[in-house]
Amino acid sequence: MQTQKILNTDLNPTRIIYGCMNLGNNRNRAELSESEMKREAVKTINAALEQGINMFDHADIYGRGKSEEMFSEIWKEHPGLRDKIILQSKCGIRFTGDPTPDAPHRFDFSYEHIKNSVDEILKRLKTEYLDILLLHRPDPLVEPEEVAKAFDELHQIGKVKYFGVSNHTGFQIDLLKKFVDQPLVVNQLEINLIHSDLINAGVITNQRKPVEFIRGEGTLEYCRLHDITIQAWSPLAVGAFENINDDFSKNLSTVILEIAKNKNVSVEAVIAAWLLKHPAKIQPVIGTRRPEKIKAICQADSLELSRYEWYKLFIAGRGEDLP
């Protein structure tokens, strides 16, 4: 699988990342025992490794920590693997009831929470360091000086090599950069064919009746200007293309299927290749547990869409023609 350098780092991840959110998620799967979930996790990780994937994405909230614990089972089977792969995790989201029953769902970029979160992440992953730590969702109460202090300490003691953000706009990144010494090298954002707002924003600018009101205009361009790698979460729209029940979905699915048949690849590969075609060099973060689906998606790595095909998919995903 092809790799692409994350600028301002020594990291060369594969263009496709495996997202580990579902490894410890037994929602609607209560019949699985702990040991069965561990075996499934190892099987899934091995399937990603077999396709050449070398970067794995986590967050402390995935499975309420279970996903990171499940991932750590891979060290038993591949004890020398850690230094051959890139591990990334996120922190900053706190659940309702944490740490007291009356605590609300919230975001927390305080010094204490970032430091404590990383310690717990490393413990669950059974590793001494993270290659990248991302701040998960923007905290309206962020004090950038506290973030800077946490990042400095984590970097100095070797617990985190590089830092980034998730779901942040250019202005929010600029605010952090005013205080943080380390370069912010990644921004993970929701982008897919039916959630192409950040791409669409540049198309509908200055239109009297835009398709919808979009915030975060210029986020992709900002990241490109400042050498920030863009990662796309939910790149397949969480299976939305498999649930065809309206004219929009039928039309989009028809376009995807036509290209897939012409290219002799899976529909998943076409959807992922649409992201890979973008000049921002977007990295899809895939999360299926099914080895055959991982293989199908990874066909995108060697699939080249034409400009004609890319725009055909873009228009179908928008649900209407360009201005």
- Predicted confidence pLDDT, tens digits, the chain (323 residues): 999 999 999 999 999 999 999 998 766 666 788 898 999 999 999 999 999 999 999 999 999 999 999 999 999 999 999 999 999 999 999 999 999 999 999 999 999 999 999 999 999 999 999 999 999 999 999 999 999 999 999 999 999 999 999 999 999 999 999 999 999 999 999 999 999 999 988 888 766 665 555 566 799 999 999 999 999 999 998 766 666 667 788 899 999 999 999 999 999 999 999 999 999 999 999 999 999 999 999 999 999 999 999 999 999 999 989 98
What sign does the dihedral 179-183-186-187 (CA atoms) show? positive
Domain membership flag for residue 167: yes
Domain membership flag for residue 224: no
> For residue 58, what are the domain limits?
17-190
The Cα-based distances of 147 to 50, 115, 117, 193 in angstroms read 37, 10, 13, 33
Alpha-carbon gap, residue 85 to 139, rounded angstroms: 30
Domain membership flag for residue 196: no
Alpha-carbon gap, residue 184 to 229, rounded angstroms: 9
Nearest-CA neighbor of 204 among 321, 113, 298? 321
Domain membership flag for residue 7: no
Q: How many domains does the chain have?
A: 1
Domain membership flag for residue 225: no
> Can you tell me whether residue 316 is helix, strand or coil?
helix
Domain membership flag for residue 244: no
> Catalytic site residues?
62
Domain of residue 21, CATH code: 3.20.20.100
Domain membership flag for residue 317: no
> Are 145 and 113 within 8 A, CB to CB?
no
> Are 57 and 104 within 8 A, CB to CB?
no
> ∠57-113-191 over CA atoms, to 5°?
35
> Are 249 and 193 within 8 A, CB to CB?
no
Domain membership flag for residue 79: yes
Burial class (CB in 10 A: 0-12, 13-18, 19+), 167: buried
* Torsion (CA) 298, 125, 147, 172 in degrees, nearest 10: 20
Alpha-carbon gap, residue 132 to 129, rounded angstroms: 9
